[in-house]
A and B are shown apart, each in its own frame.
Chain A
Amino acid sequence: MKSGSNLEKVLTSGQFAVTGELGPPKNADAEVIRTKARLLKGCVDAVNITDCQTAIVRMSSIASSVILMEEGLEPVTQMTCRDRNRIAIQSDLLGASALGMKNLLCLTGDHHKFGNHPNAVGVFDMDSIQLLQMVKNMRDEKVFQCGEELKGTEPTFFLGAAANPFADPFEFRALRLAKKVVAGAQFVQTQLVYNLERFTAWMQAVRALGVHEQCYIMAGVTPPKSIGMAKYMKNNVPGLDVPDEVIVRLKGARDAKKDVQEEGINICVDIINRVKEIEGVAGVHIMAIEWESAVPEIAKRADLLPRPG
């Protein structure tokens, strides 16, 4: 427990962990982060700060993490390989650690084709697995990627990765997570779980490899805010699997003149309760981006409160 991370503490203590997610603004307004942070405070153990998610320019994840810390929350700083080469990434990570960031989520990053600068060069000097390996070596071996010794204080991140049980080929998905763990992942947050059947099958494969004992697996969830959003996620987001049942439930609520958003929260709570029962699931990652206000309600109804610490 070199990192001093609260998230790591909660996970290693065996308690069911909860992380939230916060997307920085497309401007220089710190207040946006403070407002969202206040909504999440007390409901989560740490908050992911995205690194220009979907390749749209936003306030940097490291700068946003500092603002989040000022609000008394712990960030899970995200770092992608899309926009920086190994020199920039290592430099930024030294800075992030010096600024007090304790959790790092290593991602390859969404391709910039769908972002707001599709004409940019995609750097991809390395992939997420190689990134994990590089940061682990900086921390544990005190070496830079080039092999040169890192003299003095090393960055001491609690290292995380993402996993998508719903991408193809399914048979390889648990193995790929195993590779991430070997590379250095200590916790993993999954793609949004709506298809519980497939998630359960994936967890079974993960357990068969013993990977659940080598890293903490947190299931990704989000409340569908509207029928349109559920349909969009089903049809337009690669690697996301939204069964018809979810859309049917939302439509049912609409037809019965009930609140669709309320039903979205119900769906999310139900999924959390189901994944809690699956052996090897160590927590949930609630990604209610642009609907942070739903998180306290979800956490309360899924019996996740109060948070330890």
Chain B
Amino acid sequence: MIVGQRKPIQEIIGMLKGIKKILILGCSGCVSVCSAGGEKEVEILALILRIDRKKKGEPVETMEKTLARQCDTEYLEELKGEAGNYDAILSMACGVGVNYLADMYPTTLVFPALNTSFMGVSEEQGVWSERCAGCGDCVLDRTGGLCPIARCSKRLFNGPCGGSQNGKCEIDPNVACVWQLIYDRLKGLNQLEKLKEIFPIKDWSSSLHGGPRKIVREDLKL
């Protein structure tokens, strides 16, 4: 899922300066699962903002709403009749939702309440970590299912580098060296041969570096 984290409250307060009527818009998708931008978080953020503004003598009117998803035309259309009623919408979705709101409501101010962090897993209660960087050309068949792009600090394709020690990455003793993990896994699978081949230089044009990406499936279009 997409993992996000709420921005520091002072940053949010700062961006909303002067706004008198605001819709705080949650998302029931990924950011709700990672407890960053779902219904509960919307409620809490609204409360904090109202208290802060009341203390400052500049009260703010907050409306709260949480959509099934903010990354889908169908759900975002639900705001059609009301988007114009607010000075701004503070989206608690990931950056995708914020973007799509801005795309669909050109005359409404839109602010992000979250920092969209990464695509990752929920390891345990309260712990998330990155697994995929969405490079657009998956290489996991060659690396034992573990991603060298998202999980190696230097995005090496022919690791592990000379900084790998005791299974940890050179950048931080708390970060696992994914190339050690790849090595161990391929060894366990009797596939160490795979590591003898030189992994050729990557074509990054399918990743973010190639410009905004889009997929059109004619077979699914109505």
B interface residues, how many (CB within 8 angstroms): 31
Q: Roughly how many angstroms separate A124 CA and B198 CA in the complex, as a whole number? A: 16
Residue in B158, B172, B180 whose beta carbon sits within 8 Å of that of A179 in the complex: B158
The answer on a CB contact under 8 Å between B158 and A175 is no
B161 is an interface residue with CB less than 8 A from chain A: yes
Q: If A167-B163, A167-B164, A168-B180 touch, does A130 touch B155 (CB 8 Å cutoff)?
A: no
A108 is an interface residue with CB less than 8 A from chain B: yes
Those of A220-244 within 8 Å (CB) of chain B? 238-239
A162 is an interface residue with CB less than 8 A from chain B: yes
User: How many inter-chain contacts with C-beta < 8 Å in the A-B complex?
Assistant: 100
The answer on a CB contact under 8 Å between A191 and B162 is yes
Q: Roughly how many angstroms separate A122 CA and B200 CA in the complex, as a whole number? A: 19
**Nearest CB of chain B from residue A128's CB, rounded to whole Å:** 8
Residue in B155, B162, B184 whose beta carbon sits within 8 Å of that of A124 in the complex: B155
Q: Roughly how many angstroms separate A175 CA and B184 CA in the complex, as a whole number? A: 15
Q: Which residue of A lies closest to B170 (CB)?
A: A238
The answer on a CB contact under 8 Å between A108 and B154 is yes
A117 is an interface residue with CB less than 8 A from chain B: no
Residue in A86, A127, A134, A145 whose beta carbon sits within 8 Å of that of B154 in the complex: A127
A133 is an interface residue with CB less than 8 A from chain B: yes
**Centre residue among A108, A128, A133, A175 by max chain B CB count within 10 A:** A108
Q: Roughly how many angstroms separate A127 CA and B161 CA in the complex, as a whole number? A: 9
A interface residues, how many (CB within 8 angstroms): 36
B159 is an interface residue with CB less than 8 A from chain A: yes
Extra pairs beyond A108-B161, A168-B164, A168-B167 (7, CB < 8 Å): A81-B154, A110-B163, A122-B155, A125-B202, A128-B158, A176-B158, A179-B196
The answer on a CB contact under 8 Å between A167 and B165 is yes
9 smallest CB-CB distances across A and B, nearest first, come from: A164-B162, A238-B170, A129-B158, A130-B201, A238-B163, A124-B155, A127-B156, A167-B162, A239-B163
**Centre residue among A82, A164, A172, A178 by max chain B CB count within 10 A:** A172
Residue in A86, A108, A162, A239 whose beta carbon sits within 8 Å of that of B201 in the complex: A86
Contacts of A191 in B (CB 8 A): 162
Specify the main secondary structure of chain B where it touches its partner.
loop
The answer on a CB contact under 8 Å between B157 and A239 is no
Residue in B153, B167, B195, B199 whose beta carbon sits within 8 Å of that of A172 in the complex: B195
Q: Write the residues of chain A forming the contact surface with B, with a CB cutoff of 8 angstroms.
A: 81-82, 86, 108-111, 113-114, 122, 124-130, 133-134, 145, 162-164, 167-169, 172, 175-176, 178-179, 182-183, 191, 238-239
Contacts of A164 in B (CB 8 A): 162-163
Contacts of A179 in B (CB 8 A): 158, 196, 198
Contacts of B164 in A (CB 8 A): 167-169, 238-239
B47 is an interface residue with CB less than 8 A from chain A: no
The answer on a CB contact under 8 Å between B180 and A126 is no
The answer on a CB contact under 8 Å between A168 and B154 is no
B204 is an interface residue with CB less than 8 A from chain A: yes
Q: Roughly how many angstroms separate A163 CA and B196 CA in the complex, as a whole number? A: 16
Q: If A113-B171, A172-B183 touch, does A133 touch B165 (CB 8 Å cutoff)?
A: no
Contacts of A86 in B (CB 8 A): 201
Contacts of B155 in A (CB 8 A): 122, 124, 127
Q: Roughly how many angstroms separate A162 CA and B154 CA in the complex, as a whole number? A: 16
